[in-house]
A and B are shown apart, each in its own frame.
Chain A
Amino acid sequence: MSANHDRSNLLEVRGLTKIFGSLTACDHIDLNIAKGEIHALLGENGAGKSTLVKMLFGSLEPNAGEIFWDGKPVKITSPGVAKKLGIGMVFQHFSLFEALTAAENIALSLNDGSPISTIAAKARALSFSYGLPLDPDSLVGDLSVGERQRIEIIRCLLQTPQLIILDEPTSVLTPQEADKLFETLERLRSEGKSILYISHRLEEVKRICDSATVLRHGKVVGHCNPRQETAASLARMMVGSEVKAVERAPAEGIETAPALLEIRGLTRKPATPFAIPLKNINLTVRAGEVIGIAGVAGNGQGEFFESVSGEVLQQDAGSVRIRGKDVGALSITGRRLMGAAFVPEERLGHGAAPRMKLSENLLLSRHATDGKAFVGSGGMVKNSTVYSAAQRIITAMDVRKSAPDPEAAALSGGNLQKFIVGRELDRKPSVMVVNQPTWGVDAGAAARIRQALIELARSGSAVLVISQDLDELFELSDAIAVMHNGDLSKPLPIAEATFEKIGLLMGGAEPGHAEHSLEMA
């Protein structure tokens, strides 16, 4: 069998299948990675990319299928086996230990007994030679996401792998950091290493990848050379149909429109030792406009959202104002009653109670604002009214589900997000604050959510969107502000904003922003 396998392929995968319960996450996947190529693995969220690479790295056991390494059949039963073969992995959700130093983190994945100080020196040398400066003695919990990714990459390179798997590496980087990463990848390719590059960002795949395998619903739908494709044709392969572009009518007369959400000198001390303080944030969102907040994850966006939504109260009641009233001392319910609506980042456990039905989740978030409609005399819940309201939202947002009123956890990420956004939109809020509206949501659902947010703004509400996805912010926003290290820049009108300008701000390049501490190391 192995005789007819081409030795120029470093890795060959034949019919790899993984079944979770009733879901076939990977269905007879075939994949070839040649020596010295950057191979893209494309697909929407939930297409089975992560499941596939987990099988290649030995963290998951395939139900069926074969893997050939350098022409020989292999069984990758654990990450240890994968490492021995020469497979290195940079995880999407970092597999780092926050309470340990960078050097200790690196030492944990190397199986030699050399002392930490030797490993630290090696890591430092290697990181500088690749232009990814790293301070091995710093505590991971103190580092930015970009810096954490450097640790992952250096850790992976120190194992001198032949194949490097990168799972969505640029989703947490500024455009400039991403450029740096591409240089590193090209250098690795020139050294004869192979790279499996997982992404849903088509432009960068076209830019650096030599070949691509596209997955949809757990199946391979095509192999192609991304350089000969257009972004649109790749998107069609990934999604399976045309994705409707989001339309944004120009906003008119916003300068004179009333300010519905005002943040004045919002300051917050870090709640935990690894948290980011908010430093004197000022922002005004007027009726009819969408303001986007860009920034690399972990620069204070979470803290900012908590302060605006009322999960955390402010000392100074005037630091958050909704429709001209001070609300800094009001709780979430108080702020909702003022006409505001909030969609947190985390869908399960924060935006929705996973084991409760959609209608129950609707009641949970709106029992105060819609008390008259949903709760009758004597505090009895009007189940039929809540149910029909939930159905109204489900229809309006095209939520796909398997039962009339399923548990929140039974929905896919994209569909649950549509429901959660729809639940707030259904109230026609005058102020809407959304954190990561389409994180992990498929392209079709994302377009629908974005369109709904724009329409809400154009109908006279103020919309504030916090997102890590720059493409999304450019699609949605009338102006983009950037959060870096707890500081918020002035909003840049969309006509003046470019990827480069926003990227520089994300990296902290503005007077007043703290210099990046590691650049000096």
Chain B
Amino acid sequence: MDITVNILLTIATAATPLLIAAIGELVVERSGVLNLGVEGMMIMGAVGGFGAGYLTGSPWIGLLAAIIVGALFSLLFAVMTLSLATNQVATGLSLTLLGLGLSGMIGTSFVGQPGVRLPNLDIPVISSIPVVGRLIFGQDPVFYISIALTAAVMWFLFRTRTGLTLRSIGDSHTSAHALGIKVIRYRYLAVIFGGACAGLAGGHLSLVYTPQWVENMSAGRGWIALALVVFASWRPWRVLAGAYIFGAVWIGQLHAQAFGIPVPSQFLSSLPYLATIVVLVLISRNKRLTMMNTPASLGQPFVPDR
């Protein structure tokens, strides 16, 4: 029983950073901007979060710093692609490369230092209820943030006027501009929100998942988050499903490797990717729904003619 609960908890911990980064990127892409710099923003969040936590001793300040660093780093992308209309793909890729390099440089003195960890939620009595108590009331704070964030983004995108406006910009920025919608302003805010989310996801890695700084510790999670958004056809609850499927298979294959199942470890390591893609492709078979949810102006630079 305890083992099952432990496995479920590790799955949630593995899925949380993917979910947060992907939800942030979903909002960015819904506004029609493709930011391939998730990995870079995430690792910057991780190093910033670890550094602030290590220097102040407070994991909460660390988490806040992770969010701010991620947002500031995305601002660089926003200025380049939105104000200067550079190519979004190239700019996003450079953002990732820059983030990986810069974080390594900033983090040299943090390597091997003991970090601080955000404590798990601990409500007296309730959190010690077997199974349910630990699963629902005893996880780390970022887990709750990630779930709340998903629900909030769903509500925002599909229930509010501002969310509708954001989606309309993703569908056609020229039409939106013709209606007098401030396309660039909306996109700036969306990109910064995405950056803050990626930073938070990075903070989760260095303040909860493995409370220490290791170079390249995001280990491709930013790319997985990007893929999740596309395979989930830009819908929040599917991103949630995708992140948890990935987390589950990831943890599952780690245990399988530990048990020494006679399957090549390389194959097991690739399983999370395969399983996530297969499941998400299967649930997005409805072409019409996919078409409706795909931001038609994704990746196209917008230059209003004046």
Contacts and interface: CB of A to CB of B under 8 A. Distances in A.
Interface of A: 58-61, 78-80, 82-83, 91, 94-100, 104-105, 107-109, 113, 116, 139, 141, 272-274
Given A98-B296, A272-B291, A107 B161 contact: yes
A108 B179 contact: yes
5 contacts: A59-B178, A95-B179, A97-B171, A113-B161, A141-B291
Instruction: Give the 7 A-B residue pairs with the shortest CB-CB distance, closest first.
Output: A79-B180, A273-B288, A95-B175, A80-B180, A95-B178, A97-B171, A99-B292
Contacts of B294: 99
Contacts of A98: 171-172, 296
B216 interface: no
Interface string B162-192: 0011011001101111111100000000000
A83 B180 CA distance: 9
| Most chain B beta-carbon neighbours within 10 Å: one of A59, A95, A108 | A108
Nearest to A60: B306
B285 interface: no
A109 B167 CA distance: 14
A58 B296 contact: no
A58 B175 contact: no
Nearest to B160: A113
Given A80-B180, A113-B161, 4 more contacts: A95-B178, A97-B167, A100-B164, A139-B292
B171 A99 contact: yes
A89 to B, nearest CB: 8
A91 B172 CA distance: 15
Contacts of B161: 107, 113
Contact of B178 (A61, A91, A100): A91
A97 B168 contact: yes
Contact of A104 (B164, B178, B293): B164
Contacts of A108: 164-165, 168, 176, 179, 181
Given A60-B305, A273-B291, A78 B180 contact: yes
Interface residues of B, number: 24
Nearest to A80: B180
Interface in B265-306: 287-288, 291-294, 296, 305-306
A274 B291 contact: yes
B107 to A, nearest CB: 42
Contacts of B287: 272-273
Nearest to B172: A97
Contacts of A80: 180
| Most chain A beta-carbon neighbours within 10 Å: one of B165, B287, B288, B293 | B288
Contacts of B179: 79, 95, 108-109
Contacts of A105: 168
A242 B107 CA distance: 78
B296 A79 contact: no
A83 B164 CA distance: 20
A168 to B, nearest CB: 15
Given A60-B305, A108-B181, A272-B291, A99 B164 contact: no
| Most chain A beta-carbon neighbours within 10 Å: one of B171, B175, B179 | B179
| Most chain B beta-carbon neighbours within 10 Å: one of A79, A99, A107 | A99
A57 to B, nearest CB: 8
A202 B203 CA distance: 67
Contacts of A273: 287-288, 291-292
Contacts of A94: 175
B296 A107 contact: no
Nearest to B286: A273
A107 B305 contact: no
B180 A58 contact: yes
A91 B180 CA distance: 13
Nearest to B287: A273
Contact of B174 (A61, A95, A100, A109): A95
Contacts of B164: 100, 104, 107-108, 116
A58 B181 CA distance: 12
A506 to B, nearest CB: 26
Contacts of A97: 167-168, 171-172, 175-176
A100 B288 CA distance: 13
A200 to B, nearest CB: 22
A80 B180 CA distance: 5
Nearest to A89: B178
Nearest to A57: B178
A78 B305 CA distance: 12
A91 B176 CA distance: 13
A94 B171 CA distance: 13
Contacts of A91: 178
A96 B171 CA distance: 9
A78 B175 CA distance: 14
A104 B181 CA distance: 14
Interface string B28-70: 0000000000000000000000000000000000000000000
Contacts of B291: 99, 141, 272-274
| Most chain A beta-carbon neighbours within 10 Å: one of B167, B171, B178 | B178
Contacts of B306: 60-61
A366 B161 CA distance: 52
A492 B177 CA distance: 44
Contacts of B174: 95
Given A108-B181, A273-B287, A99 B296 contact: yes
A289 B224 CA distance: 59
A134 B115 CA distance: 62
A133 to B, nearest CB: 23
A105 B177 CA distance: 13
Contact of B177 (A59, A99, A141): A59
Nearest to A59: B178
A99 B169 CA distance: 11
A113 B294 CA distance: 26
Contacts of B175: 94-97
Contacts of B171: 97-100
| Most chain B beta-carbon neighbours within 10 Å: one of A78, A80, A94, A97 | A97
B49 to A, nearest CB: 37
Contacts of B172: 95, 97-98
Given A99-B292, A273-B287, A274-B291, A79 B178 contact: yes
A98 B288 CA distance: 12
A60 B287 CA distance: 37
